[in-house]
């Protein structure tokens, strides 16, 4: 029960109780939790306090509200390693997630406009765009720039349904040696929002990926727009050395 004498707010105590119930399996994924009036009655508190507790778990992505229906336990989110050097498709496949990759823009050589982060800005690069869907829902939009010399001829290849990392290895005999990524919250313009099936100006996770090869640094630059409604996008960290 709740402890009114505790320095921990009542809504936080209730959120902890509900969270433990979810983790213990008392409320299974997809099931509806008791209504706000019922919880208020069960715990002897006001509905605003109950609403605050539910808000906490909605923000933690453990619960979701359905207008006119109630509040439900969310299914556990699947985690995708966004920094797999084996490629984005491989990152999904390693988790047993079937992903459909649609080629939106066939590979072509372009003049790259000014962009402080794009290593090809002011020059040329091969460019392609892909949309990754899971169960028909867009989850990841990729804009990819490739070195104009190292990948010469890639514009004549049919990349539909193919892993770009495998093409790079099998046709160009190159494998990435490392790289880096930057993360930020960005906004979708109208065109990208339409492709992702999201509202214009909707916030998304934006990742800029730089891949290095033995032949050149930053030979591949990607801009990834990630819909985090279904997946948690992660980055694995190797062993840490403490001096």
The most distant pair of C-alpha atoms in the chain lies apart, rounded to whole Å, by 72
The pLDDT value recorded for residue 192 is: 92
pTM comes to: 0.63
The label of the residue with tokens 């091969």 reads 126
Q: Where are the domains of the chain?
A: 10-73, 78-234
Q: What is the pLDDT of residues 81-118, one digit of tens each?
A: 444 444 566 566 665 677 788 999 999 999 999 888 99
First to last CA, the chain: 47
CA angle 223, 221, 181 (to 5 degrees): 70
DSSP structure class, residue 155: G
| DSSP string across 46-72 | -HHHHHHHHHHHHHTTSEEEETTTEEE
Collapsing DSSP to helix, strand or coil, 125 comes out as: strand
> Which positions ≥6 away from 74 have C-beta within 8 Å?
29, 61, 62, 63, 64
**CA distances, 39 to each of 23, 36, 52, 148, 165 (Å):** 18, 5, 12, 62, 52
Choose which CATH entry (3.40.50.300, 3.20.20.120, 3.30.470.20, 3.40.1410.10) describes domain 78-234: 3.40.1410.10
Choose which CATH entry (1.10.10.10, 1.10.3720.10, 1.10.287.1080, 3.10.129.10) describes domain 10-73: 1.10.10.10
- CA 182 to the chain's CA centroid: 13
Lowest model confidence (mean pLDDT) among 38-47, 144-153, 196-205: 196-205
Q: How confident is the model at residue 9 (pLDDT cuts 50, 70, 90)?
A: very high
């Amino acid at each position: 029960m709740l402890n009114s004498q505790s320095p921990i707010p009542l809504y936080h105590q209730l959120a902890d109780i509900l969270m433990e119930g979810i983790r213990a399996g008392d409320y299974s994924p997809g099931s509806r939790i008791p209504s706000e009036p019922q919880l208020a009655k069960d715990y002897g508190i006001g509905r605003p306090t109950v609403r605050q507790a539910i808000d906490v778990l909605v923000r933690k992505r453990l619960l979701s509200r359905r207008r006119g229906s109630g509040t439900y336990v969310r299914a556990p989110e699947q985690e995708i390693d966004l920094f797999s050097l084996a490629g984005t498709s491989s990152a999904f496949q390693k988790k047993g997630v079937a992903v459909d990759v649609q080629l939106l823009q066939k590979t072509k050589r372009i003049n790259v406009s000014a962009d402080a982060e794009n290593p090809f800005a002011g020059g040329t690069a091969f460019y392609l765009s892909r949309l990754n869907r899971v169960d028909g829902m867009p989850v990841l939009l990729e804009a990819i720039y490739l070195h104009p010399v190292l990948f010469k001829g890639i514009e004549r290849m049919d990349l539909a349904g193919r892993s770009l990392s495998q093409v790079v290895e099998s046709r160009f005999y190159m494998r990435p040696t490392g790289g880096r990524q930057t993360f930020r919250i960005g906004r979708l313009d109208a065109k990208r929002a339409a492709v992702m099936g999201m509202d214009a100006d909707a916030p998304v996770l934006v990742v800029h990926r730089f891949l290095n090869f033995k032949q050149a640094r930053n030979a591949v630059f990607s801009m990834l727009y990630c819909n985090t409604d279904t997946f948690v996008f992660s980055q694995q960290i190797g062993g840490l050395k403490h001096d």
